[in-house]
Structure 1
Amino acid sequence: MFSASKIMRRLLYKKCGAQEVLFTSVNKVQIPHKCFHNNVNLCVKMFVEHENKYAYKIMENKGYTISLNIQDKKSTLSKERFEDLMKENWSTYQPKQLFEVFSTLGCYCSEQNICISNKIFDNFIDNLTDNIKNASDNDLVTLFYSLARWPETESIRTRNYIEVWAALDDACLNRLKDWSYDEMLSFLSLFFMLNVTRASEFSQKCVQRLVNKEKHLAPGQLVQTLFFIGIVRKQPFDMHNIELRMQKCLQDLSLDDIAIMSMGFFKSKTPIRSMELVGRIIDRIIDNSNNINEISLASLLKVIRYSVKINTDDKIYRLLDTLQHEVHRLSVMCIVHLALVGTSTLTLHEDCLTKIAHTMINLLPSARLKDLERLVLTYGTLNFKPPEKDNLCFFEKIIDELQSPNRQEEVTKYGRSFACCLGFLGLLGIYPLDLMKKVLNPEFLLHTYGKHCFSYGREVLTIHNTSLIFHPDTEINRLSDKVATILAKKYTDYVPDENYKKQYNVTEKMFLDVYNVLKEDRGGSEYIKGDHILTHHQRGDIILCNSHSGTPLPVNEKIRDKDFGLIRTPPDDNRWIVLVIAGRNTVIQGSGTPSGHVLSKIRELNALGFYSTVVPWSAYIQLQTKEEKTTYLNNLIKEALK
């Protein structure tokens, strides 16, 4: 029969079965049988491994944390002695003896490549795990290193392997309250070595305990704490205090230290609230741009993009202006994050994006599909097409990559990323028919999204709608009207309505204000309507109609609610006008030009036969009186009708 602790470990096995762990232990790369993957499909996993190893190595070199290097230890166990050991009655062994045998077996099995999951070890593992609670702290450390010597298992949930680390987890959890900060961090490192940090209850509670005691942590301990927050990938309670502590001791931290801490914020999905702190980090990057490591730089760029949503100064532009000169030495992964950093604030630096495009043209074959998707999103959002290099168009090369036979395995595996990439090409007015057919193929949709249409992403609806707009006469396996309507309901917001009271945001309030001004000017609510013409765009628009002589005509009877979900065209030969409300975060910084999402909407509306124009937030908020607003809006309508 199982002991009580054994039953609990079996339950923990089931609990851990639902979790995914992305990190590979630092020491395992030193085991001879470890294989490195160079397939592009595994690039992101390898980057995460490399990123974590790099960060840990920095902390190790600075003396912040313990070394995880396992000394080579040749086994003195013969095959005969090993076979005799497997016949022993382990219940008669003392805990110390069991721990010593475990280390001996680890060395032997590493050389012979015998996995711990082998059933011949079941009896021994049962006795070992029942005695781990009796181990001293030093014995626990030895057990961690002994377990790491065994050949790598398929998963942290592999039988016997989970039994041992779960027992270690229980033992550490029971001692947590008695350990110093350094001891807690040392054992966190050991769980990281075993690749079980995210599944470990001790690690979760230890990280929270360290966050609660942030005022007492030295800078090096603070760096380690944020590193493990990133490994756990879960935001601890009261994370803001960690940010305040980081801001207070920033001058005592190196740029690599700050990069490691940035990983913690980004991976736990915690934006940095203080724009002063983000600004100081940007200044440090600019001052050290020519010697900053690309992994550190990528980590810093990620947290900057994640934290800064509104541009209050020119620091993002200055950052791009400085880093454009470093593009030539950066990896594909880092270049992608450099391109993305301006998207959250709609900061366009043409020279930087041009250098990125010209550099990436030759690196596209080695880029992941996800990298291509992010690059297309960047250029599409900022509505920028870089000049050609050596008569090569950047986006034609991307399309070539998407069509390449060498990519098909990756496209099959990451179909959603492929569809998103194609949808983002539409932001630039690029609609490759053969690729659109591929995405809308029922087999592709079934394999990528499953059999239920509700799981289809917005990108599927985008490709469906744009195929109707720009390839109306081409035979394609488009979505049914029913499926298109289901997706339209999922991906569109309710149109703001003055009769429906709620807390509207700035853009919605502007929508209502424009609606009311035009309603009064044109003669009543029957001459204006808020609705969705293009259902793959989140927000609705204001629809008007003029006769050829310029007289306002009723709208509600022609634009019917029951037609919602389908692409709408002008219902008659009158002049149908659509006003697109461009809110505060839809205009490229410093230019007044709408973002790619807004301009693509205008392009699509015009292709359907509407007369569309943008009402920019930056201009509209300058108008004080109703008369000024009426004049301004009517002038926009006249310009659209020309």
Structure 2
Amino acid sequence: MCAHRLWPTVQALGRGLITNRNEIIQQGVRAYNVQNFNSGYLGGQGYQQQNVVPGSDNLTWSQRVTHSTRGGFNKVVSRSLHCGNVFFVKEFQDLENEHAHAILRSLPAYSTTTVGKDSPDSTYYQHAMYCSGVDWEKCSAQEVADGFIAMSQLCRHQPMDLEDAQHSSLCGELTKKLTHLSDQQLLMILSSLALWPQTSTSTTPNFLSLWNRLDQVCTQRMKKWDMSQMFLVADHWYALKLSKLSTYNVQMTKMLGRRVGSMEPTQLVQYLFYANLSRKLEPFIVMRELEKRLTEVLEHVSIEELGVIAMGFFKTQTFLKSEKLIDAIIDKTQENLEFVSDASLCAILKILRKSVPGTRWKSLHNLLESLKPQLPRLNHMCLLQVALVGNNLLVFHGDVINAIATRFASEVKSLRLKDIERITFALMLYNFIPPDCPDIFVKIAEELRQKERISEINMYPKSFVSCVVYLVNMGIFALDLISAALQPSMLSLLSKNTNYSDMGREVNELDWALELEGPAGYPGYRLDPESRAELTKKYIARVPSRSTRDPTHQEKLILEVQDKLAAMLGGTNFVTITNVLPHVQTPDLVFCTSSEGDPVELPSEYLDLKPAALKYPCPSYGGLQWNAVIIGGRNAFIRNTSHLQGNVQMKKRQLNRLGYHVCVVPHMDYSRKNLRTKLACLERILKEGSTLATDGRTESALISLKGQVVQQEEMYG
């Protein structure tokens, strides 16, 4: 039973369709079950209920309206987002990889190393009619292979289940005889296997035995293949959707990793595509050599191929160091903005967000300026990456963020929950209310309340809770949403996902914000005191001192400002470093003055407060004026401006709420200056924001600090 001619390699079924803008569509669903009635904070009993009445999801009862600090109105409703076990289906399509693969398939340079699309082979199709009832144990390896290929071709017209008992004998014999097949026949078997309808899992018996044995044989033979053959076989594994499971893909990227410095442009692009699939770039690869080679070949690859390269780096969590390469990528992107597909632009923006150093922030701002005319044509996913690209460096382009936020607000119904969370984060980070849509936060809150969002919230509880936290950062207290975020079933969901291990910080921040800024009669869920104390202790910032080991840049700055401020006030007993707000990640300086502005020693009652306590000004010292000094380090201000980023603005607001006069030391005015200029900077900010009478204090502090320097020089010779 021999085939009369070989069947050429075929394209795998299920490849995504590309529109005329190269955007992949189709997002399906796969079974997902959320158990949502287990109470507790992150695995424990960590909540308390304050007058919560059981309710439904349609928000039809127990409502009252309050003003938020930014003037919006919020319905206060106690409700549960979890009304029982949630069942829904999600068929995951890796759209980014589909897009990248479609790029390779569309270019002639990759035609011999990617799986092609051919017409069905009628010879094999007819041959399949005679396969039933054959004793495959008595057939040769060639005949068994021909039979499997023929049955696979039949699946094109008459889909069959590979796990059906009638195919077990054929699959079993093929598994045993794979080692007797030629390399070309192995490719044909891989192609044929992709024609069968997808099994429920990768571990169903017939499918598992076949692909496991194919994996072993291909991996064993790989050493004698050239790079083109390796890539072609790897592409067959991609067609089978087994790249992440197969040993072959891992071993191939490892073997070829030592040759990246000498690869041709197309080879480098395709190698990074398969590295992306395995989510690993081998540690022995010398990044300097790889980046040098990329810089050399960048002019020879298209903007779409650059997207594949960028995706390879981003998905392997490998970020660029070469400023020359980063500049070249930015330049190439700007030159091709009118033509680049959304998916490729997304990938490029992702790697730039993680790679551009602070020294290149202007290039990033210029890229945002160039992107402004392109915004109307971009899809939601790409717009989101445009909004996020400057986040790491706090590079802000008001027109761009305003345009994106306004469009998102008008199309909020069609946004994913993750998209809503990320745009809310960007707006919070930049402490920005879009002038063209000033009510965007009210619209976001209303969308989160919609019943249609419940299943999505159950699937992505972190996105929901984070979104609520960002709204609170901006002074928007949607109390029903806060209660939903702090309810036991939500905390239980967060506790079950190991990727959410740091969500305790946000939950803690949310509960503290309620205590500081929420209404006295808040009726919703809260953390219980014991659990909040546990979280606060876990996440509280370290208070630096002269004996602190390996102090951070921020801690060094705090200690330096403390020295200068102590000299201005008259001694170290007049100022302390403390966590006034125990839920905030950096401590602050605190000092007191009399009503006339003279420094007063800090009361021992205040200094004795526990580290994790919320530090209200001591009520028994009514005549004192309390001052907090925030040290505005590198991440406190929007790049190249004097505007505070969102978290610091919230901190300032909450300190004011406690009763402190607040001033902020801007690092850009204070750092890298001589002693006199530093003191002058402190005098200016204290005069603007504190109750200290500063007259004459700069000169006396200058004399005192210079005297300390002389003393130290004499002491240490």
TM-score range, shorter chain: 0.7 to 0.9
Query: Which deviations, in whole Å up to 9, do the C-alpha atoms of 1:491-538 show, x marking residues without a partner?
Result: 3332222122x2223222111111222234435444332222223322
**Alpha-carbon contact 2:431-2:646 (below 8 Å) kept:** yes
Map residues 74-153 of structure 1 onto 2, 5 A cutoff: 75-76=125-126, 84-85=133-134, 88=135, 90-109=136-155, 111-153=157-199
Give the counterpart letter for 2:660 in structure 1: F
Specify the alignment match of 1:596 in structure 2.
646
Q: Which runs of 5+ in 1 are unaligned?
A: 1-24
> C-alpha distance in 1, partners of 2:658/2:593?
17
**Alpha-carbon contact 2:163-2:207 (below 8 Å) kept:** yes
Specify the alignment match of 1:370 in structure 2.
418
Alpha carbons of structure 1 residues 425 and 309: separation in structure 2 relative to 1, 3 Å: farther
Matched, 1:256 2:317: no
> C-alpha distance in 2, partners of 1:304/1:317?
12
Specify the alignment match of 2:690 in structure 1.
641
**Alpha-carbon contact 1:515-1:528 (below 8 Å) kept:** yes
Q: Secondary structure at the match of 1:613?
A: strand
Map residues 446-461 of structure 1 onto 2, 5 A cutoff: 446-450=492-496, 456-461=503-508
Matched, 1:396 2:446: no
Specify the alignment match of 1:344 in structure 2.
392
Map residues 1-16 of structure 1 onto 2, 5 A cutoff: none
Specify the alignment match of 1:584 in structure 2.
634
Matched, 1:516 2:563: yes
Query: Which deviations, in whole Å up to 9, do the C-alpha atoms of 1:555-583 show, x marking residues without a partner?
Result: 47334576333433223243222221121
Q: Which one has the largest radius of gyration? A: 2
| Identical counterparts, % of pairs | 28
Q: Secondary structure at the match of 2:591?
A: strand
Query: Which deviations, in whole Å up to 9, do the C-alpha atoms of 1:136-188 show, x marking residues without a partner?
Result: 11011011111101111223333322222221111111112211111111111
Give the counterpart letter for 1:637 in structure 2: L
Give the counterpart letter for 2:553 in structure 1: V
Map residues 161-180 of structure 1 onto 2, 5 A cutoff: 161-180=207-226
Specify the alignment match of 2:404 in structure 1.
356
Query: Which deviations, in whole Å up to 9, do the C-alpha atoms of 1:229-252 show, x marking residues without a partner?
Result: 111111222151322210111111
> C-alpha distance in 2, partners of 1:545/1:160?
77
Map residues 206-217 of structure 1 onto 2, 5 A cutoff: 206-217=252-263
Alpha carbons of structure 1 residues 388 and 587: separation in structure 2 relative to 1, 3 Å: same
Q: Secondary structure at the match of 1:199?
A: coil
Specify the alignment match of 1:17 in structure 2.
none
Q: Secondary structure at the match of 1:457?
A: helix
More helix by share: 1
Specify the alignment match of 1:548 in structure 2.
595
Alpha carbons of structure 1 residues 553 and 471: separation in structure 2 relative to 1, 3 Å: same
449-458 vs 91-100, which moves further: 449-458
Give the counterpart letter for 2:506 in structure 1: E
Specify the alignment match of 1:428 in structure 2.
474
511-520 vs 139-148, which moves further: 511-520
Alpha carbons of structure 1 residues 565 and 129: separation in structure 2 relative to 1, 3 Å: farther
Alpha carbons of structure 1 residues 158 and 581: separation in structure 2 relative to 1, 3 Å: farther
Query: Which deviations, in whole Å up to 9, do the C-alpha atoms of 1:349-403 show, x marking residues without a partner?
Result: 11111211222222211111111111111111112111135xx722222222111
**Alpha-carbon contact 1:208-1:236 (below 8 Å) kept:** yes
RMSD between aligned alpha carbons?
A: 3.0
> C-alpha distance in 2, partners of 1:591/1:59?
43
Map residues 569-580 of structure 1 onto 2, 5 A cutoff: 569-572=616-619, 573=622, 574-580=624-630
Report how far residue 640 of structure 1 moved: 2.1
563-572 vs 137-146, which moves further: 563-572
Give the counterpart letter for 2:682 in structure 1: L
Query: Which deviations, in whole Å up to 9, do the C-alpha atoms of 1:290-327 show, x marking residues without a partner?
Result: 22211111111111101124143521111111111111
Match for residue 505 of structure 1 among 542, 552, 560: 552
**Alpha-carbon contact 1:309-1:344 (below 8 Å) kept:** no
Q: Secondary structure at the match of 2:14?
A: helix
Query: Which deviations, in whole Å up to 9, do the C-alpha atoms of 1:67-116 show, x marking residues without a partner?
Result: 3436445744788x66524xx3x433322222222223333456554332
Alpha carbons of structure 1 residues 511 and 95: separation in structure 2 relative to 1, 3 Å: same
Q: Secondary structure at the match of 1:614?
A: strand
Match for residue 414 of structure 1 among 451, 460, 473: 460
**Alpha-carbon contact 2:28-2:93 (below 8 Å) kept:** no
Specify the alignment match of 1:4 in structure 2.
none
> C-alpha distance in 1, partners of 2:496/2:690?
44
> C-alpha distance in 2, partners of 1:561/1:159?
68
Report how far residue 50 of structure 1 moved: 2.9
Figure out how many residues of one structure are paired with residues of the other and give that number: 607
Specify the alignment match of 1:270 in structure 2.
318
Q: Secondary structure at the match of 2:627?
A: strand
Specify the alignment match of 2:14 in structure 1.
28
Query: Which deviations, in whole Å up to 9, do the C-alpha atoms of 1:173-229 show, x marking residues without a partner?
Result: 111221111111111111111111112222112112222112331111111011111
Give the counterpart letter for 1:27 in structure 2: L
57-66 vs 269-278, which moves further: 57-66
Give the counterpart letter for 2:256 in structure 1: L
Query: Which deviations, in whole Å up to 9, do the C-alpha atoms of 1:440-460 show, x marking residues without a partner?
Result: 111221133349997643221
Q: Secondary structure at the match of 2:493?
A: helix
**Alpha-carbon contact 1:332-1:363 (below 8 Å) kept:** no
Match for residue 662 of structure 2 among 582, 591, 612: 612
Specify the alignment match of 2:327 in structure 1.
279
Give the counterpart letter for 1:517 in structure 2: K
TM-score (norm 1): 0.87
Alpha carbons of structure 1 residues 110 and 160: separation in structure 2 relative to 1, 3 Å: farther
Q: Secondary structure at the match of 2:617?
A: coil
**Alpha-carbon contact 1:68-1:190 (below 8 Å) kept:** no
Matched, 1:438 2:488: no
Q: Which runs of 5+ in 2 are unaligned?
A: 1-10, 18-24, 33-89, 692-717
> C-alpha distance in 1, partners of 2:310/2:487?
41
> C-alpha distance in 2, partners of 1:412/1:334?
25
Alpha carbons of structure 1 residues 26 and 486: separation in structure 2 relative to 1, 3 Å: farther
Matched, 1:319 2:319: no
Alpha carbons of structure 1 residues 578 and 120: separation in structure 2 relative to 1, 3 Å: farther
**Alpha-carbon contact 1:327-1:356 (below 8 Å) kept:** yes
Give the counterpart letter for 1:529 in structure 2: T
Alpha carbons of structure 1 residues 158 and 544: separation in structure 2 relative to 1, 3 Å: farther
Give the counterpart letter for 1:515 in structure 2: Q
> C-alpha distance in 2, partners of 1:109/1:288?
43
**Alpha-carbon contact 2:508-2:532 (below 8 Å) kept:** yes
Matched, 1:331 2:379: yes
**Alpha-carbon contact 1:526-1:556 (below 8 Å) kept:** no
> C-alpha distance in 1, partners of 2:505/2:311?
29
Match for residue 465 of structure 1 among 488, 512, 516: 512
**Alpha-carbon contact 1:339-1:356 (below 8 Å) kept:** yes
233-242 vs 218-227, which moves further: 233-242
> C-alpha distance in 1, partners of 2:163/2:174?
14
